[in-house]
Amino acid sequence: MACPVPPKFNDIGKNAKDLLNKNFTLGAVKVEGKSRSPANGVAFTVNTNHATDSGKVASGLEMKMESKEKPGLSLMAKWNTDNIITINPCVANHLVKGAKTEIDFKFSPDTGKKSAKVMSSYARPNVNTTLDIDVNPAGPVVHGSAVLGHCRFLLGAAASIDTGKSALTKNALALAYCSEDISLHASLSNMVDAAFGLHHKVSPTLNVGGSVAWSKNKGAAPLVQAGAQVHLDRNTFLKAKIDSALRCGLSYVTKVQDGVQLTMSMLVNAKSLDSGNHKVGLSLDLSA
């Protein structure tokens, strides 16, 4: 039975992870602007992040060009205030349908430090695989993953190998069940870190979810989180979450007008309201 293309390994359980983590811009004020040239389709992204705790301000500029004559060919260039330049060429669906290859090259003019990563993926109904290689003079580090899908079930595996040390540095397994309104996932990393997640689309305006994470090495009690997202109208939604450490989060996201989205979020430590260990955040997204 043919099934849709499954997600990449890191995207298993994405609905639950996004519900509990996305739109919570904590301890920072962020502004991001996006625009696209109608003449040649070149896309520009400018972002600024001000960390309220340290006062550090970081900014970045990104430009992406896509070929109109040969769809699937693109080139991305980035620069940030740490003076790191990134060049990212990408080729998709050319030699083989569903195959994608890109190179991520980073260079620091200040220090002369360079790094490169080759990323490839192949996706088709029932299977999604990735193979990434960190180019390292001491020996490449290889990251591989595969996700198999059958009907509504997903089975995924991932591993990282440091060829310079001839050592397996990471291994992970994941299992998931996905339907139109319910998704469940479980994962085990390095045989010590376990995680479980649930996402339920109760109605078109209400989503609920939760997760449990536990690490054998840390020896602490499992961290349990629960959250909900409510759409107040077609332009505004509200998120609320709480975890077993009694940290309560709230996020308000609204579309002010076309191309302008405002996100306000906060996290309160309900165990110690007088400690001052609370966080707030603000994010403004502009697009044209």
Q: Which tokens in the block code for residue 167?
A: 């050592």
Considering only CA atoms, give the Rg of the chain.
21
Distance (Å, rounded) from C-alpha 16 to C-alpha 93? 30
For residue 3, being part of any structural domain is answered with: no
Residues with Cβ within 8 Å of 55's Cβ and at least 6 positions away in sequence, in order, are none
User: Cα 183 to the chain's mean position, in Å?
Assistant: 18
For residue 175, being part of any structural domain is answered with: yes
For residue 240, being part of any structural domain is answered with: yes
* Number of domains, the chain: 1
For residue 1, being part of any structural domain is answered with: no
Report DSSP state, residue 84.
-
Burial of 238 (0-12, 13-18, 19+ CB in 10 A): middle
pLDDT in tens, 247-276: 999 999 999 999 999 999 999 998 887 777
pLDDT higher than threshold 70 for residue 66: yes
Give 93-102's long-range contacts (Cβ < 8 A, gap of 24+). 94/70, 96/122, 97/124, 98/5, 98/122, 98/123, 98/124
Question: Could you tell me the residue range of the domain that residue 53 belongs to?
Answer: 9-287
Kindly tell me the sign of the dihedral angle through the C-alpha atoms of 73, 59, 10, 234: negative
Q: Write the CATH number for 151.
A: 2.40.160.10
For residue 2, being part of any structural domain is answered with: no
Cβ(108)–Cβ(93) below 8 Å: no
pLDDT higher than threshold 80 for residue 97: yes
pLDDT in tens, 134-168: 998 888 999 999 999 998 999 999 999 999 999 99
106-115, 172-181, 210-219, 270-279: least confident range: 270-279
For residue 198, being part of any structural domain is answered with: yes
User: Cα 250 to the chain's mean position, in Å?
Assistant: 20
8-17, 90-99, 186-195, 200-209: least confident range: 90-99
Residues with Cβ within 8 Å of 37's Cβ and at least 6 positions away in sequence, in order, are 43, 44
pLDDT higher than threshold 70 for residue 1: no
Distance (Å, rounded) from C-alpha 203 to C-alpha 33? 32
Bridge partner list, 112: none
User: Cα 31 to the chain's mean position, in Å?
Assistant: 18
The closest of 213, 272, 230 to 248, measured between CA atoms, is 272
List C-alpha distances in Å: 17 to 34, 44, 259, 272: 25, 28, 25, 26
Residue with tokens 């697009």: 287
DSSP-derived secondary structure for 197-255: EEEEEEETTEEEEEEEEEETTT-PPPEEEEEEEEEEETTEEEEEEEETT-EEEEEEEEE
For residue 4, being part of any structural domain is answered with: no
pLDDT, mean over the chain:
93
For residue 137, being part of any structural domain is answered with: yes
What's the CA dihedral at 274, 275, 276, 278 to 10 degrees? -100
